[in-house]
Amino acid sequence: MDFCFTIDDNIRFLRSLTENKPASIFDNDYLSMLLRLRLKYGLKIQLNLFFADGAGFDLSRMTDRYAGEFAESSDWLKFSFHSYKESFRPYEFSAEKEVYDDMMKVNSEITRFSCEKSLGKTTTIHYCLLTQGGIEATKKAGYRGLLGLFGDDEKPRFSYLLGIDESARARRGEIVDSRSLKIGSIDAVLNTFSLAGAVERVKELIGREHIRVMIHEQYFYPDYERYQPDFETKLDRVFAVLKQAGYESKFFEETI
Over the stretch 58-85, which tens digit does the pLDDT of each residue have?
A: 999 999 999 999 999 999 999 999 999 9
What is the per-residue pLDDT for 216?
A: 98
Burial 46-74 (b: 16+ CB within 10 A, else e): bbbbbbbbeeebbbeebeeebeeebeebb
Domain of residue 20, residue span: 2-254
pLDDT above 90 (res 247): yes
Number of domains in the chain: 1
Question: Would the pLDDT of 153 be above 90?
Answer: no
- Residue 232: what pLDDT? 98
Would the pLDDT of 13 be above 90?
Answer: yes
pLDDT at 152 over 90: no
Q: Where residue 119 sits, what CATH number does that domain have?
A: 3.20.20.370
Q: Based on C-alpha coordinates, what's the Rg of the chain?
A: 17
Q: Are strands 176-178 and 181-185 parallel, antiparallel or unpaired?
A: antiparallel
- Total count of residues recorded for the chain: 256
Query: What integer best gives the mean pLDDT of the chain?
Result: 97
pTM greater than 0.75: yes
Per residue in 175-227, pLDDT tens?
A: 999 999 999 999 999 999 999 999 999 999 999 999 999 999 999 999 999 99
